[in-house]
Amino acid sequence: MKSFKQIFTEAENKITGIAAAPGIVISKVYLFTKEKIKINDGEITDIDEAISNFNEALVKSKKELNKIFAIAKEKMEATRAAIFEAQVMILDDPILIENIINRIKSEKRQPEYIVNDEISKYQDLMRLSHESYMKERAQDIEDIKNRIIRNLQKRRWKSKITNDLIVVSDSLTPADTILLSRCNVKGFVTDHGGVTSHAAIISRSLNIPAVVGTHNATTTIKDGDNIIVDGFHGYILVNPTEEQIIFFRKKLIHLIELQKGLEEFKDKPAMTNDGHEIQLMANVDVTGEVDVVISSGAKGVGLYRTEQILEELGEFPDELEQTTIYSRLSSRIYPDDIIIRAFDIGGDKVKFLDFEEPNPFLGLRGIRILLENKVIFKTQIKAVLKASKDKNVQFMLPMVSTIGEIQRSKELIEECKKELKHDKIPFDKNMKVGIMIEVPAAAVMAKEFAMEVDFLSIGTNDLIQYLMAVDRGNDFVSDLYQEFSPAVVRTISHIVNEANKAGKTVSLCGEMAGDTLAIPLLVGLGLNSLSLSPSTIPYAKRIISKFSFVKAKELSDDCLCCSTETEIQQKIEHFFKINNITRTRNII
Amino acid sequence: MMIEKTVKIVNNAGLHTRPAATIVKLASKYKCDFNILKDGLNINGKSIIGVMTLAAEMGSELLLTFDGVDEKEASEEISDYFNRGFDEL
């Protein structure tokens, strides 16, 4: 049989990208285009259905805008807020709606065509004006027009995409990924994005193979093509030959056998061969993922990303909804612990402000937004407290960069406790509160910050991004996003040592924990707790069982003396070799 | 019967988004028809997107027409709002 290298070198139908989520899949393609809005001007037969679709799109758009509005109001100057108000009013404009509905009835064409045509008429008039602000206003109207059209079309693609396809797209927002995964998508391929783009993270947690950053997938692959996606190596084969299909079918069978073999690790603790136990917890992105968590053999949830609820619901859930979600999770996970992280909004996650920040990653995100919007923050704190009554819930604050932020958050938590106590609602009085260490300032100050809280959790994605000053989603610089940079390794070591000095526990919950190559190094650095994608946990257990803590410590001591990423990678690869550890991607 | 009133835009910023929204909100309280005429363009005053399209800058003149049972009250309240320079003077 040919080797993988041979197969791939000979292939003329290959596309190379970044391996973002492991697995192999052979299936047909659904080309998901959303950047350019295409208007369907086709004729319709069912007028009632068209009108009800139009009304539904209006309701959906209103819901979205109100979500944006809820927060924007507190933050924005009145002039900008007025634009939102006007946008909401347009969705209620009786004349506009009447005209559109009348035209749907008389012209019998797709509502999206009529909406586009009708609203564009007003925009043309606005663009005629010599006032520059009127031209800008035409742009505001463009937003609302596209929002309605998008909501009209979402209905259509949901019914158009059939099950069991591989989605190929320019880029995918976290919301797209979640929506599409409901159609039992088999794989994801994108032109843009890196390993730590949120879409890649979600693919991993949903166990869907993904290759990202291909640059040209959408121009090379056509709708309905048959493709092979190799999410271990980051390769795609378009309309594969018989030989390639046979080769990958064999790999798939091999993979399934290997995964069965991993099941023996499920109920065993993650332990080095000299008896040092590592707590492996699961990261949870999507509420429906708990089953995967439980079957993975995770020891609790080390990171529950609550902002995903916003993605799923499209709006801020109220206290009751949140309490229900958190309580259900905590009781499913019981007696293990679940660490619930406060909404981490901003950056590339959950864009709810309609104005562009010049520098979103250095702007209003994480705890900064929450402290500005106390109503939302307190609603969440109370829901988390209510879910803590069985004492297995911990609460974690994202993007902390000063002690003041911790203190103000703690004051709010105390306020919420008082209010619950007053209402005689049960909760865990001693619920542990911790912080994410993902801003370099917090890393430097780890000991002092740790004194203020019960635990620290290192978020490597943002920590590396801020430490290396590199946008992880930007293909041009994403090779500077170095997990094994000596600066990263030394920073993690510093945080662990400082947390120990303060006598507080420290864990690591970034994507680095899910990179099987990083595991011996992290164990050696003294991390006793890692939180990773549930699908990676069995692989991680297998690797941990193959080395000793003493050896891992030697490895990390060595790595702390290195001055380049290459040196560190070589040392780790050497470690894998001499300890006879094979990574799954190398077995397949 | 129909009431016609000519009004002039007197505030610096003109008929921008905030006053447009206020005009529509005021007009929606009344049963009567309310139209705004400017440069041959006839806009329904209860339509926010229409009023936004008017692009009336400072100094421009508009003709307001009111037709219906409560036209008197409507014409007074709305033309008054124009004359106050949308409370931006």
Per-residue pLDDT tens digits for A413-438: 999 999 999 999 999 999 999 999 99
Is A96 close to B53, i.e. CB distance below 8 A? no
pLDDT over threshold 50, residue A159: no
pLDDT over threshold 60, residue A479: yes
| Average of per-residue pLDDT across A559-564 | 97
- pLDDT at residue A198 in the model: 63
- All CATH 3.50.30.10 domain ranges of chain A, comma separated, are 4-35+170-259
Topology of domain A47-160 in CATH is: Enzyme I; Chain A, domain 2 (1.10.274)
**SS3 state of residue A417:** helix
Please list the alpha-helical segments (H only) found in A423-485: 440-444, 446-452, 460-468
**Residue span of the structural domain in which B39 resides:** 3-87
Give the DSSP H or E segment for A116.
Answer: helix A111-128
Residue A438 neighbours by CB under 8 Å, 6+ apart:
A398, A399, A458, A459, A460, A461, A462, A463, A466, A510
Give the DSSP H or E segment for A141.
Answer: helix A132-160
- pLDDT at residue A378 in the model: 96
Name the residue with higher pLDDT: B82 or A85.
Answer: B82
Q: Which residue has the tokens 């999770």?
A: A329
pLDDT over threshold 90, residue A335: yes
CATH 3.20.20.80 given to domain A4-35+170-259: no
Contact call for residues B49 and A93 (beta carbons, < 8 A): yes
Residue A574 has which token pair? 């050497």
Q: What is the pTM of this model?
A: 0.68
Interface A:B, Cβ pairs < 8 A: 54
Name A277's bridge partners: A271
**SS3 state of residue B52:** helix
Give the DSSP H or E segment for A378.
Answer: helix A374-387
Q: Which residues of A are catalytic?
A: 198, 509
Look at chain B and report how many structural domains it folds into. Answer: 1
Q: Which residue has the tokens 């041009």?
A: A476
As a whole number of angstroms, the distance between CA A32 and CA A168 comes to 6
- The CATH number for B33's domain is 3.30.1340.10
In A160-219, the DSSP E strands lie at: 166-169, 187-190, 210-212
What mean pLDDT, rounded, does chain A reach?
87
Residue A321 neighbours by CB under 8 Å, 6+ apart:
A313
- All CATH 1.10.274.10 domain ranges of chain A, comma separated, are 47-160
Closest C-alpha to A53, from A155, A144, A146, A145: A155
| Average of per-residue pLDDT across A382-390 | 97
For the stretch B52-64, pLDDT in tens is: 888 788 899 999 9
Q: Which of A188-197, A262-271, B4-13, B70-79 has the highest mean pLDDT?
A: B70-79
Contact call for residues A526 and A507 (beta carbons, < 8 A): no
Is A78 close to B52, i.e. CB distance below 8 A? no
Asked if the C-beta of B3 comes within 8 angstroms of chain A's C-beta atoms, the answer is no
Cβ-based interface (< 8 Å): residues of A facing B: 78-79, 82-83, 85-86, 89-90, 93-96, 119, 122, 125-126, 129, 131, 133-134, 137, 140-141
Q: Which residue of B has its CA nearest to A85?
A: B21
Topology of domain A266-587 in CATH is: TIM Barrel (3.20.20)
Band of pLDDT at residue A1, cut at 50, 70 and 90 = low
Closest C-alpha to A199, from A169, A223, A227, A228: A169
Contacts of A119 in chain B (CB under 8 A): 49
Q: Does A335 sit behind a cis peptide bond, omega within 30 degrees of 0 on the bond before it? A: yes
Beta-carbon count within 10 A of A318 CB = 10
Q: Which residue of B has its CA nearest to A124?
A: B53
CA A160 vs CA A41, A113, A152, A157, A181: distances in Å? 17, 18, 13, 5, 14
